[in-house]
Amino acid sequence: MKQTKDGLEIQMHNQTDALDKLARHFGLYKDKLADAVEKSYTREALEERFAGAMQRVQERQRQVDEERGREC
């Protein structure tokens, strides 16, 4: 609170932000980190997913090269 030439100025806090912070403090929201932990993969599963993704990328690159008339 401060005195201005027009009278007292009172600074109010945002009630929505305050409620949001309280809800987070009491764990009423699911955090992204908690979701990430629940969706964790084993090393083998990650390696399989990576290998599959790399295979799809290589196949797509071969298709693009063929369309452009390049030799592989």
CA distance 55 to 63: 12
Per-residue pLDDT tens digits for 45-64 = 889 999 999 999 999 999 99
pLDDT at position 32, please? 67
| Residue 9 and residue 2 in contact, taking contact as beta carbons nearer than 8 Å | yes
Tell me the average pLDDT of the chain: 85
Per-residue pLDDT tens digits for 12-46 = 889 999 988 888 888 787 766 666 666 677 889 88
CA distance 63 to 42: 32
Q: Which helix (H) or strand (E) holds 60?
A: helix 43-67
pLDDT at position 65, please? 93
pLDDT at position 38, please? 63
Looking up tokens 């090269």 gives 65
